[in-house]
């Protein structure tokens, strides 16, 4: 029986893995899944964003039972090892199965979230006693969640429960996630010829970096911040010695939602390389002492060519450094939803990217919160900070928080079923990252939502690995949940 379930789910997964499906290119996979759901007897609709909405009628005798949405996303993050030739728009994922794991040869696997879809397809084939089931497969989860965002509210309004199948740990039930907003600061500038022809590059690297939701509570150093402090110290030294120091370039970070692991600046100064190196050494030691966890922080300085370089006017450079140093980065607030339960991050912010150009400066700030009201408070903060530093600010891509429902009986029921089926405890958890559940909760605040998933390691990387022994427990859990909902257990 168990073997049959596993083979059936993996059979569905293999077919999905054959279809290239990077975010924003889901048409093919969406067409395939429409046909598949049609074969399984569902009434299928595809919207203009290629989201799929498919209905399965209640089984006889359960017509008055609540309606449950089963939800997953169709797109995947496509990444390959540096030496692997891989065209995400054309190449299928090459699966490699061992006794315990499923991986892909040299690329990401797409178990996030292909396994969620495969499990749902399997359940639709086998479920016996159930109320009305609506399957919603969304597009573009990994980039902008535009599929979930643009989904017509009517598909969410008439449902009572939703099981999102996009989590990554089989013995956890997720009950809330964070919202976020992009705060993009920018400034028009005009660079001027340098007052001194000696140029140096000041670089900081070797920091841990990492995901700005998952790692923000670890007090990891922010390279952009440390480089700004370095600029302040160097400027102070220059003033002390009555010498010139100006900034010509300042760039750092990898992505809005990554803690920046490196940053570099070009300066023009009368300070000597010796003076700069001495200062750099002192600062490096100070930074290492400030951040225990970041033992690889390294500041470098070297002379560079001066040809064609210009500098920022000192008021513009001051504005930039001030903006970087006055906005808070890291954790704003921790929260514990239940007594004696481990605290998690409620609100945080990451300063992820800074770039300077010939005529402009851009700074990307990225707050997250599981409380919408706290996210709102960043709007005023952004405008005040922009005023104080003479930047403009654009507020964009707000994604809603999925706030914890204190009366959720669905999570408790999932825990009870999991315990009886696996003789082990399921943990109720909130995460400090985004899930599509926020959009569904926003469209129907009465919808009772949980998020579940098989155990998937290292998602979004070529090391992505699916734990095969977590598939059958997921199938059993979701099937029983559907039967118990139909039977009136909640």
Two structure tokens written together for 274: 């010796």
- Interaction between residue 140 and Zn ion (CB under 5 A): no
Q: How far apart are CA 291 and CA 298, in angstroms?
A: 12
Number of shown-chain residues binding Zn ion (CB under 5 A): 3
The correct pick among 26, 140, 166, 436 for binding Zn ion (CB under 5 A) is: 166
Site string for Zn ion, 64-103 (x = CB under 5 A): ----------------------------------------
Q: How far apart are CA 105 and CA 426, in angstroms?
A: 32
For the bound state, the minimum distance from the C-beta of residue 182 to Zn ion, rounded and expressed in Å, comes to 20
Closer CB to Zn ion, 112 or 140, in the complex: 112
Site string for Zn ion, 366-405 (x = CB under 5 A): ----------------------------------------
Closest to 166 (Cα-Cα) out of 145, 183, 190, 187: 145
- Interaction between residue 113 and Zn ion (CB under 5 A): yes
Closer CB to Zn ion, 119 or 353, in the complex: 119
For the bound state, the minimum distance from the C-beta of residue 247 to Zn ion, rounded and expressed in Å, comes to 40
- Stretch binding Zn ion (CB under 5 A), from 23-31, 161-169, 240-248, 444-452: 161-169
Residues pairing with 394 in the sheet: 184
What SS3 state is found at 22? strand
For the bound state, the minimum distance from the C-beta of residue 460 to Zn ion, rounded and expressed in Å, comes to 9
Closer CB to Zn ion, 88 or 260, in the complex: 88
Q: How far apart are CA 223 and CA 221, in angstroms?
A: 6
Alpha-carbon torsion (400, 149, 21, 455), positive or negative = positive
Axis crossing angle, helix 223-240 with helix 273-290, rounded to the nearest 10: 140
Closer CB to Zn ion, 71 or 405, in the complex: 71
Closer CB to Zn ion, 112 or 184, in the complex: 112
For the bound state, the minimum distance from the C-beta of residue 223 to Zn ion, rounded and expressed in Å, comes to 28
The correct pick among 26, 112, 249, 316 for binding Zn ion (CB under 5 A) is: 112
Cis bond before residue 113 (omega within 30° of 0): yes
In this structure, the dihedral spanned by the alpha carbons of residues 334, 335, 341 and 342, taken in order and rounded to 10 degrees, is -10
Q: How far apart are CA 283 and CA 269, in angstroms?
A: 18
- Interaction between residue 26 and Zn ion (CB under 5 A): no
What SS3 state is found at 216? helix
Q: Classify each residue of 321-349 as buried b or exposed e, where b means 16 or more C-beta atoms within 10 Å of its C-beta.
A: bbbbeebebbbbeebebeeeeeebbbbbb
- Contact positions vs Zn ion (CB under 5 A): 112-113, 166
């Amino acid at each position: 029986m168990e073997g049959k379930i596993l083979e059936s789910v993996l059979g569905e997964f293999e077919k999905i893995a054959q279809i290239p499906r990077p975010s924003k290119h889901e048409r093919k996979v969406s067409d395939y899944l429409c046909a598949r759901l049609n074969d399984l007897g569902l009434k299928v609709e595809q919207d203009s964003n290629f989201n799929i909405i498919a209905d399965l009628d209640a089984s006889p005798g359960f017509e008055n039972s609540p309606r449950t949405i089963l939800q997953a996303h169709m797109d995947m993050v496509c990444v390959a090892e540096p030496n692997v030739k891989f065209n995400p728009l054309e190449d299928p994922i090459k699966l490699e199965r061992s006794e315990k794991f499923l991986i892909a040869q040299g690329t990401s696997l797409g178990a996030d979230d292909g396994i969620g879809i495969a499990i749902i397809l399997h359940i639709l084939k086998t479920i016996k006693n159930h109320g009305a089931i609506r399957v919603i497969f969304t597009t573009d989860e990994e980039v902008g969640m535009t599929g979930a965002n643009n989904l017509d509210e009517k598909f969410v309004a008439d449902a009572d429960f939703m099981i999102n199948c996009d989590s990554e740990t089989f013995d956890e039930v997720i009950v809330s996630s964070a919202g976020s907003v992009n705060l993009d600061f920018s400034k028009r500038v005009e660079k001027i010829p340098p007052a001194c022809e000696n140029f140096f590059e000041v670089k900081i690297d070797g920091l841990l970096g990492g995901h700005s939701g998952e790692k923000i509570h670890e007090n990891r150093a922010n390279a952009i911040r440390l480089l700004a402090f370095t600029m302040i110290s160097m400027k102070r030294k220059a003033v002390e010695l009555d010498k010139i120091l100006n900034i010509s370039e300042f760039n750092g970070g990898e992505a809005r939602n990554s803690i920046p692991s490196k940053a570099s600046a070009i300066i023009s100064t009368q300070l000597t390389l010796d003076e700069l190196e001495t200062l750099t050494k002192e600062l490096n030691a100070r930074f290492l002492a400030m951040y225990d966890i970041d033992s690889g922080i390294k500041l470098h300085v070297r002379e560079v060519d001066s040809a064609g370089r210009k500098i920022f006017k000192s008021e513009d450079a001051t504005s930039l450094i001030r903006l970087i140093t006055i906005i808070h980065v890291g954790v704003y607030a921790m929260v514990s939803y239940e007594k004696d339960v481990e605290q998690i991050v409620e609100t945080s912010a990451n300063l992820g990217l800074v770039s300077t150009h010939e005529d402009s400066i851009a700074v990307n700030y990225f707050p997250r919160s599981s409380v919408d009201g706290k996210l709102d408070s960043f709007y005023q903060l952004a405008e005040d900070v922009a005023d104080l530093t003479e930047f403009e600010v654009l507020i964009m891509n707000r994604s809603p928080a999925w706030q914890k429902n204190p009366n959720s009986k669905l999570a408790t029921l999932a825990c009870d079923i999991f315990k009886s089926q696996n003789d082990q405890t399921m943990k109720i958890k909130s995460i400090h990252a985004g899930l599509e559940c926020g959009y569904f909760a926003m469209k129907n605040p009465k919808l009772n939502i949980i998020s579940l998933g098989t155990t998937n390691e290292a998602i979004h990387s070529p090391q992505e690995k699916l734990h095969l022994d977590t598939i059958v427990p997921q199938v059993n859990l979701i099937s029983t949940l559907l039967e118990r909902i139909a039977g009136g257990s909640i």
